[in-house]
Structure 1
Amino acid sequence: MGYRWHRASRMGAGLAAVLSTPAMADTTTTFQVSATVVSGCEINGALASNGEVLGRYGQLDFGTHSSLSTDTASAAIAADAGLTLSCTPGIALSMALGAGQHGSATRNMQAAGSSDLLPYRLYRDPAFSNEMQIDQAYAITFADPEAIALPIYGRVVLSGDKPPDTYSDTVVLTLSW
């Protein structure tokens, strides 16, 4: 009989162990998910970093003229094919133009074969009434935020005494938003 009791004791102890084990409980917690979306501009579909140099925007070509000409030549910037500027609608966009490689108080093109200079002026309207001062920011307005054109127009007054050569300059264009 002792044997049976012992066997029953073990069964009771096992049953007690199973019944006294706490039930598994589900617990929950939370975590935050967020994203910040800011206004900005993209050049060629890429967001530019502050101070990043993005290549050449275009060319302002005054054409070919006689060295004896005293004409006034005008031109509008032709944006290079494939360069696109797009901004968040409603963003305050501005541009500033530097003095150029050969400028100081005025902008100058320099002859390729000498140090001779040919002064020119840049404007922000096709009537040439709003001259763009060196390093001054000007607001850019646009109707289509996916295809923004920068209003840059130029004028050079030929003096009739410049030696024949190709005159050129490179101007830094800074966009801010």
Structure 2
Amino acid sequence: MNKSIAVVLLFCAGLHGTAQATGSLAGQVGVQMVIGAGCTISSGSVSGGINQWGTLDFGTHSDLSNLVDAQTVGANGNIQIKCSTGLTPSLTVNAGLHASGGQRYMKNTATSTIAYNIYSDAARSALIQANTPVDISPASTGNAVSIPLYGRVVPTGQNTPTEAGTYTDTLLVTIAW
């Protein structure tokens, strides 16, 4: 056998043995979190996977001879909306389950209905039309602001006689930014 081949074989045999030295190896792990622009609703709850943002309760009345007003109230008070600065959030309210011809109605278990309107101000002068965005840009200051909905039942113009019973409707409210 050639002497240079024997030396190479002995050298290679030494490489297959166990490690003779101890040591350590350090590395870095990057950590990050991204907060995207968006809005948060507080004072609401979730039921069956659906956000519950409050109730517009007109109360109990014996007739419709007077104006009846209501304001949304959430589980823990008024609904609070807080959006990232720089956004232009808007609120849209659909027509409800029983609307007809652009008018929202509450309906009882029979067939009677009570017409009502939704407003964005306490004076009830800024009517919220179905599916028409309402500017809620004050919510984009980074601070939580209250965004109540105001309702009104007007005694004139009711198209059906009111029967005793509970009248209800469900509105879908969407916050977009």
TM-score range, shorter chain: 0.5 to 0.7
Corresponding residue to 2:117 among 113, 116, 121: 121
Q: Deviations over 1:105-146 (max 9, x none)?
A: 2100001x3021100000001111110000001110336634
Corresponding residue to 1:94 among 86, 90, 104: 90
**What displacement does 1:54 show?**
4.1
1:155 aligns with 2:152: yes
Aligned to 1:166: 166
**Distance in 2, Cα, partners of 1:34 & 1:147:** 26
Question: Residues 47-58 of structure 1 correspond to what in structure 2 (within 5 A)?
Answer: 54-58=50-54
Aligned to 2:39: 41
1:61 aligns with 2:57: yes
Aligned residue pair count: 140
**Distance in 2, Cα, partners of 1:141 & 1:36:** 23
SS in 2 for 1:79: coil
**What displacement does 1:35 show?**
6.4
Q: TM-score, normalised by structure 1?
A: 0.67
Aligned to 2:46: none
Using the TM superposition, name which of 138-147 and 163-172 deviates more: 138-147
1:78 aligns with 2:76: no
Q: Deviations over 1:35-69 (max 9, x none)?
A: 65431112359xxxxxxx642100111111113x4
Going from structure 1 to structure 2, the CA distance change for 1:109 and 1:175 (only over 3 Å counts) comes to same
For structure 2, list consecutive stretches of 5 or more residues without a partner in the other structure: 1-6, 12-29, 44-48
**Distance in 1, Cα, partners of 2:169 & 2:118:** 12
**Distance in 2, Cα, partners of 1:150 & 1:55:** 15
**Distance in 1, Cα, partners of 2:142 & 2:149:** 18
Could you list the structure 1 runs, at least 4 aligned residues long, displaced by more than 2 angstroms after superposition.
32-38, 42-45, 82-86, 141-148, 158-161
For structure 1, list consecutive stretches of 5 or more residues without a partner in the other structure: 1-9, 15-31, 46-52
Aligned to 1:131: 127
**Distance in 2, Cα, partners of 1:33 & 1:164:** 62
SS in 2 for 1:142: helix
**What displacement does 1:81 show?**
1.8
Code of the aligned partner of 1:167: Y
Code of the aligned partner of 2:124: F
CA RMSD of aligned residues (A): 3.0
**Distance in 2, Cα, partners of 1:44 & 1:127:** 25
Code of the aligned partner of 2:121: D
Q: What percentage of aligned pairs have identical amino acids? A: 32
1:103 aligns with 2:99: yes
Structure label with greater radius of gyration: 1
**Distance in 2, Cα, partners of 1:44 & 1:58:** 11
